[in-house]
Chain A
Amino acid sequence: GENVGLHLPTLSVQEGDNSIINCAYSNSASDYFIWYKQESGKGPQFIIDIRSNMDKRQGQRVTVLLNKTVKHLSLQIAATQPGDSAVYFCAETGSGTYKYIFGTGTRLKVLA
């Protein structure tokens, strides 16, 4: 896999700071959401998911927030590290469908 595109929105964050990456999803019927991380030359890697009956879910150094009212998803990364540098994108799907809709992604750059 490769990083998606040359014109992705880019978030530059100082090492050790927290990062917040946002995603607007498209389908109000979607009820399952996923964040992926894609490093250069690799395929997308699952980070964390959340169902629509929740508005927050925490993992190791990552938190996903879901706001169904405005169809907004965010990924928070605590104490950002150089290894977090990658493209991050969200995906949405719903019960009764096998189709996933993917965002185009945000490039996260961690500054030393």
Chain B
Amino acid sequence: GAGVSQSPSNKVTEKGKDVELRCDPISGHTALYWYRQSLGQGLEFLIYFQGNSAPDKSGLPSDRFSAERTGGSVSTLTIQRTQQEDSAVYLCASSPSTGGNSPLHFGNGTRLTVT
């Protein structure tokens, strides 16, 4: 079946511009995560959605970052007024459940380059 789909796969933007990254999770997966992967770093947690519950936004690095998940499915991560330090790969993952029961399924990410 279809896996987690992310778009665009690559995004080059100028400093100060806003960007939107999209994630289409696996159908039926209630949990959705955004991570950031930078050179030399492990996966950095950004935000977590579970069903209709309030999201855990504790990992968002600044108020320039926001995310939403419409209808419990597609999610969009928005970065406003991008900075060069925002350059990274942004990964989305989904899971059918949480609580240490199942692995996360990742998309191929969006590589963001801020010039």
Contact = CB atoms under 8 A, between A and B. Distances in A.
A94 to B, nearest CB: 5
A59 interface: no
A99 B99 CA distance: 8
Contact of A4 (B4, B40, B106): B40
A104 B42 contact: yes
A5 B44 CA distance: 13
B108 A41 contact: yes
Interface stretch (A12-20, A43-51, A64-72, A76-84): A43-51
B99 A45 contact: no
A94 B108 contact: no
B82 interface: no
Given A98-B31, A98-B98, A43 B4 contact: yes
A99 B104 CA distance: 11
Interface string A10-37: 0000000000000000000011101010
Nearest to B40: A5
Nearest to B56: A98
Nearest to A41: B108
Nearest to B88: A2
A97 B111 CA distance: 29
Contacts of B45: 99-100
Contacts of B99: 95-98
Contacts of A99: 45, 48
B50 interface: yes
Interface of A: 1-2, 4-7, 30-32, 34, 36, 41-46, 49, 89, 91, 93-100, 102-105
15 contacts: A1-B89, A1-B109, A2-B37, A5-B39, A32-B100, A32-B101, A34-B104, A43-B93, A43-B108, A49-B103, A96-B99, A98-B99, A102-B42, A103-B42, A105-B42
